[in-house]
Structure 1
Amino acid sequence: MNIEGVSHSNIRTVNKAGSVRDSVPPIHAQAIQSYQELGPIEAIEATGTYDLSGEVAPTGLGFTVAAPNGYEIYMPARPGYFSNNLSIAVTDPSAEPFSFEKSRSEIVEAARKVLDARYARMADSGEPFRPKSIEAADWYSLFGELDRRALSAIRTDESGYFSAMEQEIAQAIMTQQQSLAMGQYYGPTRLAEAYAEAEEIDPSDLMAIGKAGALWLDQVSHEEKTTLSEWMEQRAAAQYLYENAAKDAGVKPEDLSSGFRFVDMLLEAYRELEQLGEGHELNYLPSYQKAWQMFVDQMPSEQSSSTTLFF
Structure 2
Amino acid sequence: MDREHPGAEAARAGEPAGALGGKVALVAGATRGVGRATAVELGRAGATVYVTGRTTRERVSEVGRPTETIEETADLVTAAGGTGIAVPVDHLEPERVRALVERIDRDHGRLDVLVNDVWGGDHLLDFDTKVWEVGLDKGLRMLRLGVETHLVTSHFALPLLIRRPGGLVVEVTDGTAEYNGPRYRGNLFFDLAKNAPIRMAFGLAEELKEYGCAAVCVSPGFLRSEEMLDSLGVTEENWRDAVAKEPHFAIAESPAYLGRGIAALACDPGAARWSGRSLSSGQLAREYGLTDTDGSRPDGWRYFIEVVHGGREADVEEYR
When normalised by structure 1's length, the TM-score is: 0.32
Larger strand percent: 2
